[in-house]
Chains A and B, each alone.
Chain A
Amino acid sequence: DIQMTQSPSPLSASVGERVTITCRASQNIDSYLNWYQQKPGKAPKLLIYGAINLKDGVPSRFSGSGSGTDFTLTIENLQPEDFAIYHCQQSYRTPRTFGPGTEVDV
């Protein structure tokens, strides 16, 4: 199985800051990497697919980069509604696997 790791966790930040979350795959996954946002007790929501593509309707302060094994999710000008857990997920191989999640808190 492809193992996904994330750092840092947790991540303490303040409103207005720029935040960067890193996701690393245990092997090359090209650009087959997705990011989800999850709030407590709620379902994850897709933010970015294919490493860099912003889902329609997701604010442009979110961006993704990377390929191969190393990826980043960046949030510019952090807003109060962005405090959540962020998960990365690879779709290169079955079984699909997720990172452990990065909690962005105050």
Chain B
Amino acid sequence: QVQLQESGPRLVRPSETLSLTCSVSGGFISDPEFYWAWIRQPTGKGLEWIGSIYYRGTTYYNPTLRSRVTMSVDTSKDQFSLRLTSVTAADTALYFCARRSLATDIGNWYDPWGQGILVSVSS
């Protein structure tokens, strides 16, 4: 079964760039049936969709973050990545990567998810 694992620095300084990688095992990131997504959750708050990427490079970003977000995919390593520039304390959150099904006539969904990585923005 597919498993996802986030990795990256857990502390980022304000105004710097947050960079995370999600490693996919038990499956292939080039599987044409799926997109790959980043979702975050500030402590004690709800879930916020950051964006999604297809293995061919097509991306969709949350408009509230679009100016600061870049997602990329490395099919040779079965990894996809998130870059978020000019971070502030408001970007402190638990960051999850997840697999998203392709669109169907009943929508699409996120399954499975990585365990999450807590990233703090602080000087």
Residues of chain A at the chain B interface (Cβ within 8 Å): 1, 30-34, 36, 42-46, 49-51, 53, 55, 87, 89-92, 94-101
Contacts and interface: CB of A to CB of B under 8 A. Distances in A.
Contact of B106 (A45, A53, A97, A98): A53
| Top-3 shortest CB links A-B | A50-B106, A32-B107, A91-B107
A98 to B, nearest CB: 4
Interface of B: 45-49, 60, 62-64, 96, 98, 103-104, 106-116
Contact of B111 (A50, A55, A95, A101): A55
18 contacts: A30-B107, A31-B106, A33-B107, A34-B110, A42-B116, A44-B110, A44-B113, A45-B112, A46-B110, A46-B111, A50-B107, A51-B106, A89-B110, A91-B103, A94-B60, A98-B46, A99-B46, A100-B46
